[in-house]
Amino acid sequence: MSTQNALLTILVEKIKNDTLVLPTLPAVALKVRKAADDPDINLQDMGEVIGQDPSLSARMIKISNSAYMGRAVKVTSISQAVTRIGLRQIKNIATALAMEQLFVSKNELVGEYMKKEWANTVDVVANSMAALQMYTARTKKRDFTIDTMTLMALIHSIGVLPILTEAERHTEVFASPSFLNDAIDKLAPKVGGSIMRSWEFGEDFVVVAERWHDLAYIPEKLGYIDFVRVGAALAGQINSKKDAVLNLAIQRGVVEDVNSLLSDDFAEMRAAAKQIFA
């Protein structure tokens, strides 16, 4: 058995036996999510939780001053940022901003894959956020929130991480990038669903992680998965299915037409979204 086939067998067995080591949420995200679930939490207390992490504090201030908050007056403190963003959105936004910490590796080769995966993920996020903004502006509907959209898009390919981590123990497989691509294509969705359950995220997150790439799965109602698919198609993640994804998006009312995705407005929204993670 070749090394590549052996590693694929190891991954399949670990998934089957539920012994694959899954990533854990960064500590700061866990703290914020726990605090947000406390019915007695207030904005001041939440500000103190976030303030314990200088990096998250700085990024919270940045996002509160971004185009997505839609305010002209700049905020300069974490208390002002938390007040502007609000407790309802803080949980998802803090988690999203902390996610980058997962895409790192001490191994140089694996680190490059992680870096590439993070860049691709941010592209999907930016496209998904812009698509949602266009949809909201056009339909005037408020069924979806930008903070949940951001986190949904960020976790869509989270299943890649344990595969890369496992492969790190067998660096010889990197002589064939096609192997990793094949392993990711076959296994990442199932692993992604396992991670979402492990993190105790809602079923909507599980569905996005497991089914976003599966066009045979079409939910009855429009959902975040529709926007994630558009984001992934525009980011070049599913070139073989791009036309099918965009046609489906038009049919389901996600976008009005393909030209809207080529507009200056869409490009500006996408660029603003990417700046959040710059």
Per-residue model confidence as pLDDT tens digits over 210-259: 999 999 999 999 999 999 999 999 999 888 899 999 999 999 999 999 99
pLDDT of residue 252: 96
pLDDT of residue 2: 63
Residues of the chain with pLDDT under 50: 1
Q: Of 145, 131, 134, 171, which Cα lies nearest the Cα of 86?
A: 145
In a domain, 29, yes or no: no
List the CATH number of the domain containing 253.
1.10.3210.10
In a domain, 256, yes or no: yes
In a domain, 249, yes or no: yes
Report how far apart the first and last C-alpha atoms of the chain are (Å, whole number).
43
pLDDT of residue 118: 95
Q: Of 55, 62, 144, 50, which Cα lies nearest the Cα of 100?
A: 55
Q: 107 CB contacts (<8 Å, ≥6 apart)?
A: 168, 171
Residue with tokens 């080769």: 109
The reported pTM is: 0.89
In a domain, 262, yes or no: yes
CB 208 within 8 A of CB 225: yes
DSSP state for residue 240 in the 8-state scheme: G
pLDDT of residue 130: 96
pLDDT of residue 262: 94
pLDDT of residue 227: 98
Structural domain count of the chain: 1
Q: Which structural domain range is residue 116 located in?
A: 3-24+92-276
In a domain, 30, yes or no: no
In a domain, 160, yes or no: yes
Bin 53: left if φ > 0, else alpha if -120 < ψ < 50, else beta: beta
